[in-house]
Amino acid sequence: VEQDLKLSADGSHTVYSRQFDEHYHSLHGAVSESRHVFIQAGLHYASALFNPLSILEVGLGTGLNCLLSCMDPSVAAIAVHYTALEAYPLEPSVYSSLNYPDTFGGKDAKPVLNRIHSLPWEEESSLCEGFTLLKQRIKLEEYTTTRQFHLVYYDAFSPGTQPELWTSEVFAGLRRRMYPGGVLVTYCSKGEVKRNLKKAGFRVEALPGPPRKREMTRAICP
């Protein structure tokens, strides 16, 4: 098996990747990290500015960011289009055991998480009312689109593991696909990553990080 389920400190699951020798989330709390970085610093910022709202996630993984986004009250009244890229999808035995529906959202979360993983790749489908999901089984490096985004969840493995995904060239490519005023959020707060974002033309903010992490990064398109 390439992927193992692990419990993080807040009781929610994360996954360990043997291929990359890295966990999908902070071991100090997977749901806590996702909520803090992607939902609070990203979705709440962008959903107050844009409707319809177009989101790109780099690394669908467990589907946790997509699940939290779809169930977030801030999107109840707006139309969301969510594109998720994933180069190495989770095995069914792993995603079907994720405990997210038990840690939040109750019975409503379970069918949504199941749909995130069972919906076909490369097709737009309705995930829940007003929320369209397009999963693409592709590497970011090979991804092309005519779509523009307001919000990017940048959730690749860390620069130590995947240095090729944190360069100014990659960020410049993303920026060209983003609307003015659009926002990219990531858990990573490395100096070099912030410099590469700036080089790509983003305005970069360091925000307080999730539990046990000093900072996270939010980058805004001028």
Ligand X SMILES: C[S@@+](CC[C@H](N)C(=O)[O-])C[C@H]1O[C@@H](n2cnc3c(N)ncnc32)[C@H](O)[C@@H]1O
Nearer to ligand X, 174 or 222 (CB): 174
Contact pick of 139, 190, 198, 213 for ligand X (by CB under 6 A): 139
Backbone angles phi, psi at 126, to 5 degrees: -85, 120
Which bin fits 21, alpha (ψ -120 to 50), beta or left (φ > 0)? left
DSSP secondary structure code for residue 141 in this structure: G
Burial (0-12, 13-18, 19+ Cβ within 10 Å), 141:
exposed
Is there binding between residue 219 and ligand X (CB under 6 A)? no
> Hey, which residues between 54 and 73 contact ligand X (CB under 6 A)?
58-62, 64-65
Is there binding between residue 154 and ligand X (CB under 6 A)? no
Is there binding between residue 33 and ligand X (CB under 6 A)? no
Nearer to ligand X, 7 or 51 (CB): 7
Angle at Cα 68 formed by Cα 151 and Cα 171, nearest 5°?
25
Q: Least distance (Å) from ligand X to the CB of residue 52?
A: 22
Residue 193 makes CB contacts below 8 A (sequence gap 6+) with 159, 166, 186, 217
Backbone angles phi, psi at 34, to 5 degrees: -60, -45
* Structure-token pair, residue 158: 């860390």
Is there binding between residue 140 and ligand X (CB under 6 A)? yes
Contact pick of 45, 157, 171, 202 for ligand X (by CB under 6 A): 157
Is there binding between residue 179 and ligand X (CB under 6 A)? no
Q: Count of residues binding ligand X (CB under 6 A)?
A: 20
Q: Least distance (Å) from ligand X to the CB of residue 81?
A: 17
> Hey, which residues between 87 and 126 contact ligand X (CB under 6 A)?
87-88
Is there binding between residue 174 and ligand X (CB under 6 A)? no
Q: Least distance (Å) from ligand X to the CB of residue 162?
A: 6
Coil, helix or strand for 116?
helix
Q: Least distance (Å) from ligand X to the CB of residue 180?
A: 25
C-alpha 21, offset from chain centre: 19
Length of the chain measured in residues: 222
Rg (CA), the chain: 16
Is there binding between residue 24 and ligand X (CB under 6 A)? yes
Q: Least distance (Å) from ligand X to the CB of residue 24?
A: 4
Q: Which residues pair with 183 in a beta bridge?
A: 151, 220
Chain residues binding ligand X by CB under 6 A are: 24, 58-62, 64-65, 85-88, 139-141, 155-157, 162, 165
